[in-house]
Amino acid sequence: MAEMKDRFVRFDWAIKRLLRQKANFGVLEGFLTVFLGEKVTIVDILESESNQQEEFDKFNRVDIKARNSKGEIIIVEVQNTSEVFYLERILYGVAKAITEHISLGDDYGEVKKVYSISVLYFDLGEGDDYLYKGQTSFFGIHTNDELKITTRQRDAIVRKAPEEIFPTYYLIRVNNFDRVAVSPMEEWMRYLKKGEISADAKAPGLQEAREKLLYYQMDPAERHAYDEHLNAVMIQNDVLGNARAEGLAEGRAEGRAEGRAEGRAEGRIEGRAEGKAEGLAEGKTSQQMLTARTMLSDGMSIDLVAKYTGLTKSQIEAFAAE
């Protein structure tokens, strides 16, 4: 019974069905506190076209958009399968969030800081770490100093770093995590990758997760929906994996065929070039020998014939003796 009791639902399902409820904000706040490196308090969950529960999201993408106590916008997205233009898409999502939360005529000072956190279950790019952070900074081309932005707010001069204004991106590459869970972030990574939460977990939000994200705590209908979600994820990954394998196999076969064809073509070209060169060389030698015979018949010495024809003395002596 212990195994049944300690089975926890995946984080994407938690975002889709459970963490939108105010009673479960503690789990989401703990996750954000660990990965953003500061205490986060969720005020409300925001809805937009991007985080409505659509059929496509059942197996591929799930996201949630929240506002914290500082008025900042936080987007958390779980992506199960690879996507070619993934970075471009999260850039679009952030830009859309910015425009959704400022009204026409508002001062640009009303633009909200946005955090984008992507939990990725596919290999995005090349790198050894499991957590990457991207943000905008301005550095002097000649001095390499970082630019600090000065603004006036209510008759006071306020200094801001660009990262306080521009969006910040976090990419969590789940498949790259292979450590023993010791730190709070590693405890969260263990849950994201393996679905495991130890009873003595110290990371913010995980004790709440142990209580709120239990599989057997859901009613039968919810468990059935969750199982269907897992099946859809597995099927989608299998389809994409097979397509990728078939694509690689076809690419290798085409590459070998093209290589053979190119080799034959190059061989024909090289053969024609070599034949032409050999023919020219043989023709030149024959002409030299004919000239040498004529010179010898006119009584010229072998030394002179060799000098003017380019033939060696041994070559001239050989056919002179014939």
Q: Give the pLDDT confidence of 123-149 residue by residue, as tens digits.
A: 888 899 999 999 988 899 999 998 877
| Low-confidence winner among 63-67, 68-72, 244-248, 261-265 (lowest mean pLDDT) | 244-248
Three-state DSSP state, 178: coil
Question: Would you state the pLDDT for residue 273?
Answer: 61
| Low-confidence winner among 15-19, 56-60, 275-279 (lowest mean pLDDT) | 56-60
Tokens 């190059």 locate to 266
Examine the pLDDT at 1 and tell me if it is beyond 50. no
Pick from 127, 112, 63: nearest CA to 89: 63
Express each pLDDT in 226-249 by its tens digit: 888 788 777 766 655 555 566 666
Look at 231 and 35; give whichever has higher pLDDT. 35
Cα(164)–Cα(149) distance, rounded to whole angstroms?
10
Question: Would you state the pLDDT for residue 41?
Answer: 97
Question: Would you state the pLDDT for residue 142?
Answer: 96
Residues facing residue 132 across a β-bridge: 171
CA atoms within 13 A on the CB side of 232: 16
Cα(266)–Cα(58) distance, rounded to whole angstroms?
52
Question: Would you state the pLDDT for residue 174?
Answer: 95
Cα(15)–Cα(48) distance, rounded to whole angstroms?
15
Express each pLDDT in 194-213 by its tens digit: 999 999 999 999 999 999 99
The confidence band for 155, taking pLDDT boundaries of 50, 70 and 90, is low
Radius of gyration (C-alpha) of the chain in whole angstroms: 37
The answer to whether the pTM exceeds 0.75 is no
Question: Would you state the pLDDT for residue 119?
Answer: 96
Question: Would you state the pLDDT for residue 251?
Answer: 66
Question: Would you state the pLDDT for residue 56?
Answer: 47
Question: Would you state the pLDDT for residue 159?
Answer: 66
Long-range contacts of 93-102, Cβ-Cβ distance < 8 Å, separation of 24 or more: 93/50, 93/63, 94/167, 94/169, 96/48, 96/50, 97/48, 97/50, 97/65, 97/73, 98/73, 98/167, 100/48, 101/46, 101/73
Examine the pLDDT at 278 and tell me if it is beyond 70. no
Task: Provide mean pLDDT across the span 244-262.
Answer: 66
Task: Annotate 186-207 with three-state secondary structure.
Answer: HHHHHHHHHCCCCCCCCCCCHH
